[in-house]
């Protein structure tokens, strides 16, 4: 089975029902099937060859989804670009992927670093809004049935770049089908016609993983151009949204809305992931939304489905849940062997959800995927006696101070439990005596003196874990998908930013 055939089947089965909705248009399943055929045929007729990489830099919209699946039907490899990234980041991805084309949104793309500018010089063909519209009008509506082998590249995602330049992650059709299967088996087993998935996070990232599962089951995808807490609540009420995906930062912003508890949402699944969630935020969210939260843990190299914490399992604070049914997961030591329950090690995973490798980077691929197929995630965690995973932190972010291991996430969670703190970041800075010392910065709801936060930490943390430098900032550097950028924060503290 190919992805294009799933779209074609949905078009035939659900016909005139609404498949995609944004603030400008509503597109039925049948119209979506035809539009993706037209675009796929037009791109092939204009000189692209199956296997070519084509980047997409469009805002959250129906058009962006049509572009994604038009490329799929033509056998073209999508390289998603986030409009919130910089021109330098776009240029790196375009050059590294050797993209032949770039579908962009004109003025919308420019505001996020798109053409004209450095990215434009990296590709042969720029397709702006006018040409995209022309391709959709002129392309043949005949079924576009280019089916590349299941293990050929389907999508070229890029790692978050939190520890260096983003690496191209090769995801195949087999990977995508495994993700959809895992979602429908465990995360969203009861969706169907009449259900509504609300996309407020970028569909270039985690939220996009929810498009296809809802499309194949006849549910409607409502796409917001960007996240805004008040607009999210209004849109969710208006469309009676039954599911959504948010990163923890967005949940924290929702909880700041005065009417959130009385919003009367119809959600059956409020999925979250993409970054750690502070225990205080999770507790408030459970109070506000009820037993509908479900956490899904994954990464670019194993998209979004390593473990999940079901709604009825949120009595285990801090857990990321247990593996999806068709996924293998374990926690191992430096020797690669499983560690006993309760001990910290590196999370590894194996299954068809795992990437094929890093694009044009065999050395990094060999370092990440063991010969026996296990992916080293770089995440540190521990298992309890019941097999529930508890993530500790990123392996590369660990701070070693005076011979003691300090995990930044523990410091950040402690700071975020202070009622004034909205966001926090902890890093290690060079120290002649201790090797590294813990430093932290916070963003607050109202003015607060660092000495108050230092005293707060002193009551709750061992001395070697407490920040020796603590600053209050107007903003904490975040990635386009809401992850705290510790490397950028460290550079700012060292005066390199």
CB 284 within 8 A of CB 257: no
Per-residue pLDDT 10s for the chain (497 aa) are 899 999 999 999 999 999 999 999 999 999 999 999 999 999 999 999 999 999 999 999 999 999 999 999 999 999 999 887 778 888 889 999 999 999 999 854 443 444 444 455 568 999 999 999 999 999 999 999 997 899 999 999 988 654 457 899 999 999 999 999 999 999 999 999 999 999 999 999 899 999 999 999 999 999 999 999 999 999 999 999 999 999 888 898 899 898 887 777 899 999 999 877 878 889 999 999 999 999 999 999 999 999 999 999 999 988 999 999 999 999 999 999 999 999 999 999 999 999 999 999 999 999 999 999 999 998 989 999 999 999 987 777 888 787 677 888 889 989 999 999 999 999 999 887 777 899 999 999 999 999 999 999 999 988 889 999 999 999 999 887 777 888 899 899 998 75
Q: What CA–CA distance (Å, rounded) separates 234 from 228?
A: 10
Q: What is the pTM of this model?
A: 0.83
Q: For 87-97, give one letter per residue: b (16+ CB within 10 A) or e.
A: bebbbbbbebb
Strand 345-350 versus strand 328-332 pairing type: antiparallel
Instruction: Report helix angle 129-138 to 29-45, nearest 10.
Output: 100
Q: In the numeric block, which tokens belong to residue 71?
A: 């490329």
Of 482, 493, 411, nearest to 453 by C-alpha is 411
Widest CA span in the chain: 70
Length of the chain: 497
Burial of 160 (0-12, 13-18, 19+ CB in 10 A): middle
**What confidence score (pLDDT) does residue 117 get?**
44
**What confidence score (pLDDT) does residue 118 get?**
43
Three-state secondary structure string covering the chain: CCHHHHHHHHHHHHCCCEEEECCCCEEEHHHHHHHHHHHHHHHHHCCCCCCCEEEEECCCCHHHHHHHHHHHHCCCEEEECCCCCCHHHHHHHHHHHCCCEEEECCHHHHHCCCCCCHHHHHCCEEECHHHHHHHHHHCCCCCCCCCCCCCCEEEEEECCCCCCCCCEEEEEHHHHHHHHHHHHHHHCCCCCCCCEEEECCCCCCHHHHHHHHHHHCCCEEEECCCCCHHHHHHHHHHHCCCEEEECHHHHHHHHCCCCHHHCCCCCCEEEECCCCCCHHHHHHHHHHHCCCEEEEEEECCEEEEEEEECHHHCCCCCEEEEECCCCEEEEECCCCCECCCCCCEEEEEECCCCCCEECCCHHHHHHHECCCCCEEEEEEEEECCCCCEEEEEEHHHCEEECCEEECHHHHHHHHHCCCCEEEEEEEEEEECCCEEEEEEEEEECCCCCHHHHHHHHHCCCCHHHCCCEEEECCCCCECCCCCECHHHHHHHHCCCC
Q: What CA–CA distance (Å, rounded) separates 135 from 109?
A: 19
Q: What CA–CA distance (Å, rounded) separates 208 from 342?
A: 34
Query: 179-394 — its CATH code?
Result: 3.40.50.12780
Q: Nearest 5°: CA angle at 224, between 183 and 250? A: 70
Q: What CA–CA distance (Å, rounded) separates 53 from 96?
A: 11
Q: Domain extents for the chain?
A: 3-148, 179-394, 406-493
Query: 3-148 — its CATH code?
Result: 3.40.50.12780
Class of domain 406-493: alpha beta
Give the Å distances, CA to CA, from 296 to 207, 239, 277, 324, 331.
12, 24, 12, 9, 17
Of 148, 23, 158, 138, nearest to 81 by C-alpha is 158
**What confidence score (pLDDT) does residue 178 get?**
97
Intrachain domains 179-394 and 406-493 with the same fold: no
Name the CA radius of gyration of the chain, rounded.
Answer: 23
Q: What CA–CA distance (Å, rounded) separates 359 from 349?
A: 20
Strand 345-350 versus strand 269-272 pairing type: unpaired
**What confidence score (pLDDT) does residue 113 get?**
41
């Amino acid at each position: 089975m190919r992805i294009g055939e799933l779209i074609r089947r949905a078009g035939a089965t659900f016909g005139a029902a609404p498949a995609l909705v944004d603030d400008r248009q509503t597109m039925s399943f049948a119209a979506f099937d035809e539009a993706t055929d037209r675009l796929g045929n037009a791109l092939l007729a204009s000189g692209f060859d199956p296997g070519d990489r084509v980047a997409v830099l469009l805002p959250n919209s129906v058009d962006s989804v049509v572009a994604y699946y038009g490329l799929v039907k033509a056998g073209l490899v999508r390289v998603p670009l986030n409009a919130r990234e910089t021109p330098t980041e776009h240029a790196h991805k375009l050059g590294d992927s050797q993209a032949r084309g770039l579908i962009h949104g004109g003025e919308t793309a420019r505001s996020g670093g798109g053409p004209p500018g450095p990215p434009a010089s990296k590709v042969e063909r720029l397709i702006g809004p006018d040409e995209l519209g022309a391709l959709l009008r002129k392309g043949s509506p005949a079924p576009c049935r280019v089916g590349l082998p299941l293990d050929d590249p389907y999508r070229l995602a890029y790692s978050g770049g939190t520890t260096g330049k983003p690496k191209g992650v090769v995801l195949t059709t087999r990977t995508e089908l495994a993700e959809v299967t895992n979602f429908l088996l465990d995360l969203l087993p009861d969706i169907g016609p009449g259900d509504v998935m609300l996309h407020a996070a970028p569909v270039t990232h985690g939220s996009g993983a929810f498009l296809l599962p809802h499309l194949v089951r006849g549910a409607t995808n409502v796409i917001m151009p960007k996240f805004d807490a008040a607009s999210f609540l209004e849109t969710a009420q208006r469309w009676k949204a039954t599911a959504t995906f948010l990163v923890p930062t967005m949940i924290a912003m929702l909880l700041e809305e005065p009417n959130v508890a009385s919003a009367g949402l119809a959600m059956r699944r409020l999925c979250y992931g993409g970054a750690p969630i502070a225990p205080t935020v999770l507790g408030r969210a459970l109070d506000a939304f009820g037993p509908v939260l479900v956490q899904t843990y994954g990464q670019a190299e194993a998209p979004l489905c390593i473990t999940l914490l079901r709604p009825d399992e949120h009595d285990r604070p801090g857990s990321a849940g247990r593996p999806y049914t068709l996924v293998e997961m374990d926690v191992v030591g430096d020797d690669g062997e499983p560690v006993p329950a309760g001990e910290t090690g590196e999370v590894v995973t194996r299954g068809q959800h795992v990437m094929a490798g890093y694009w044009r980077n065999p050395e990094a691929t060999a370092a990440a995927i063991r010969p026996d197929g296990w992916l080293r995630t770089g995440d540190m965690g521990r298992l309890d006696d019941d097999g529930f995973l508890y993530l500790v932190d990123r392996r590369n972010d660990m701070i070693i101070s005076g011979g003691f291991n300090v995990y930044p996430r523990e410091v950040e969670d402690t700071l975020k439990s202070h009622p004034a703190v909205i966001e926090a970041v902890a890093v290690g800075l060079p120290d002649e005596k201790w090797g590294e010392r813990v430093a932290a910065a916070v963003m607050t709801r109202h003015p607060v003196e660092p000495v108050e936060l230092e005293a707060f930490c002193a009551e709750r943390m061992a001395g070697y874990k407490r920040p020796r430098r603590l600053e209050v900032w107007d903003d904490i550097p975040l990635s386009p998908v809401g992850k705290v950028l510790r490397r950028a924060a460290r550079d700012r503290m060292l005066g390199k930013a």
